[in-house]
Amino acid sequence: MNYKIAVIPGDGIGPEVVEQTIRVLDKIGSIYGHTFEYSKYLAGGCAIDATGEPLPEETVEGCRNSNAVLLGAVGGPKWDTLPGDKRPEKALLGLRGKLGLYANLRTAVLNKELKDACPLRPEIVGDGIDIMVVRELTGGIYFGERGIRENGKMGPEAFDTETYSVGEVERIARIAFDIALKRNRKVTSVDKANILESSRLWREVVERVSKDYPNVSLEHMYVDNASMQLVRNPNQFDVIVTTNMFGDILSDEASMITGSIGMLPSASLGEGSFGLYEPVHGSAPDIEGQDKANPIATILSAAMMLKYTLNLPKEAKAIELAVDRVLEEGYRTGDIMSPGKTLVGTTKMGELIVSFIE
Ligand code: NAD
C-alpha cells in the first residue's frame, strides 16, 4: 500500500528526531511492502521565520491531503517574546482546530528496562506501567463560554463554563472503547459526577456507549480519586477516558510517573481515523543540534500512527519490539542513561532501532 504522510519537523530537536523516525518507517516499508510518501511542511518558529505565520495555510492544506501527520516539536527561545497569537505554539492549537482533532491519546509506558527512572517505589511499579489516557480535546471548559462580570458577589468576577454535548461525549467514549479492545479491555471514565452536571451527562453517555462493547469492562472514578490512584496503584489502569481539563492534568501526571519524557508518544485523532502523531516532549532547545535527543518518543509516535490511522498493527508491533530490544541490549541516550549502559546519540539510536526491526 501507498500512504501519504505530512511531515512537520518543526524547531529545536524536532528535525533530528523526525529524521530518525523516517528511517524507521522506511525500513518498515521495505520489509512489509508499503510505500510511505512524505511531504514536508513548515509550522512553529521556522514557519514564522520563513512566512511570518506560525501555521501557514499550505501546511494545513498539506495535512488535509494526507493520511496522517507526523510532527517533531515547535517553539524555542528565539520566538518567546512574540505576542500570543504569533507564537510557535499557536501552530499546535491551529492544527488541532483546523484538522478537527478531538481526541488526544497519550501513553504512559514505563519499560521494565527503565524502572530506575520511575519516581515510584519498585513494589508499586511491578513489571512496568502501561496506561493510555484518552483526553477530549476540543470541548469542555477550555472552549466554553467565558467572561468577566463587573458586579460579582465580592467585586468583579471571572467565569469559564464546562459544557459537553451528548455527541461530543459519545465520540470520545467510542475512541476509548475501541482502543481498549486493542489493549487490556478495561476503560476507566474519570469525571466529577458528584458535583458537576456536565459530568453526570458524561457518565450517562459513557455508560450507554459501553453497552456496545460487552467485552470491555467499564468503571467510573472521580477525578480527585483518579489522581491519587495513579500514584498509589498505576497498574489498575488500562485506558482512562476523560474531559479536556481533567485529561490535561492527568495525562501529565501519568507521563511523569514514567520519569522519561524522551520516551513518550502521543496521537491526536479526528474523524475517520485521521491523526496527528508527535512526541510528548517539546523542542528541547538546550540540546538542539548536538546529537543528544532521544528519538524514541517520535519513533513510538510513528508506531501509534501505524496502529491507529493506517491499521497496520503488525508493523507497529515490529517498531515497539525493536525499541524494547535496543533497551534490553543496554543502549541509552543521555536522558535515560544509567551506570553500566552504553551511551549513544540520536543518529546511532535511530540506526540501532532500524537494525533491530524484523
Ligand atoms: P521540553 O520537553 O522541550 O524539554 C524539557 C527537558 O527535557 C529539557 O531539559 C530537554 O533537554 C529534555 N528533553 C525533552 N525531550 C527530550 C528528548 N527527546 N531527548 C532528550 N531530552 C529531552 O520542554 P520545555 O523546555 O519546557 O520547552 C522547550 C520549548 O518546546 C518551548 O518553546 C515550548 O513551548 C516548546 N514545547 C513544544 C511542545 C510541542 O511542540 N508539542 C510541547 C512542549 C513544549
The predicted-structure confidence for 164-208, as pLDDT tens digits, reads as follows 999 999 999 999 999 999 899 999 999 999 999 999 999 999 999
Whether 43 and 126 map to the same domain: the answer is: no
**What is the percentage of the chain residues whose pLDDT exceeds 70?**
100
Domain residues for 141? Answer: 119-257
Q: What is the DSSP string of 196-252?
A: -HHHHHHHHHHHHHHTT-TTSEEEEEEHHHHHHHHHH-GGG-SEEEE-HHHHHHHHH
Written as nine digits, the cell of 161 is 463554563
Contact 132, 164 (CB under 8 A): no
198 inside domain? yes
Q: What are phi and psi of 78, to 5 degrees?
A: -55, -30
Mind telling me the catalytic residues? 142, 192, 224, 248, 252
Predicted pLDDT at 255: 84
Instruction: Tell me the residue type at 180.
Output: A
- The Å distance, Cα 286 to ligand 1 centre, comes to 9
Whether 132 and 250 map to the same domain: the answer is: yes
Within 8 A by CB and 6+ apart from 223, the residues are: 190, 191, 192, 242, 246, 250
Ligand 1 pocket residue status of 281, Cβ below 6 Å:
yes
Atom of ligand 1 nearest to the CA of 73: 40
Report whether pLDDT(304) > 90. Answer: yes
Please state the rounded mean pLDDT for residues 91-118: 91
- The Å distance, Cα 61 to ligand 1 centre, comes to 27
- Asked whether residue 126 is marked as a ligand-binding residue, the answer is no
> pTM for this one?
0.91
- Asked whether residue 33 is marked as a ligand-binding residue, the answer is no
Of 283, 301, 332, 348, best ligand 1 pocket probe by most atoms within 8 Å of the beta carbon? 283
Q: Which of 231, 257, 283 is the last residue of a domain?
A: 257
User: What is the H or E stretch that residue 300 is in?
Assistant: helix 296-308
Instruction: Work out whether the CA dihedral 234, 236, 239, 243 comes out positive or negative.
Output: negative
User: What is the H or E stretch that residue 131 is in?
Assistant: strand 129-136
Whether 43 and 124 map to the same domain: the answer is: no
Ligand 1 pocket residue status of 234, Cβ below 6 Å:
no
Residue 278's Cβ-side half-sphere holds a number of Cα atoms within 13 Å equal to 25
Ligand 1 pocket residue status of 297, Cβ below 6 Å:
yes
Atom of ligand 1 nearest to the CA of 279: 41
Whether 250 and 292 map to the same domain: the answer is: no
Within 8 A by CB and 6+ apart from 89, the residues are: 44, 54, 74, 75
- The Å distance, Cα 91 to ligand 1 centre, comes to 16
Q: Write out pLDDT tens, residues 258-285.
A: 878 899 999 999 988 899 999 999 999 9
Ligand 1 pocket residue status of 91, Cβ below 6 Å:
no
Predicted pLDDT at 112: 85
- The Å distance, Cα 282 to ligand 1 centre, comes to 3
Contact 159, 147 (CB under 8 A): yes
CATH number at residue 5: 3.40.718.10
Q: Which of 240, 257, 274 is the last residue of a domain?
A: 257
Range of lowest pLDDT (23-32, 139-148, 156-165, 283-292): 139-148
Contact 222, 190 (CB under 8 A): yes
Whether 247 and 155 map to the same domain: the answer is: yes
- Asked whether residue 279 is marked as a ligand-binding residue, the answer is no
Predicted pLDDT at 179: 93
Written as nine digits, the cell of 350 is 535511530
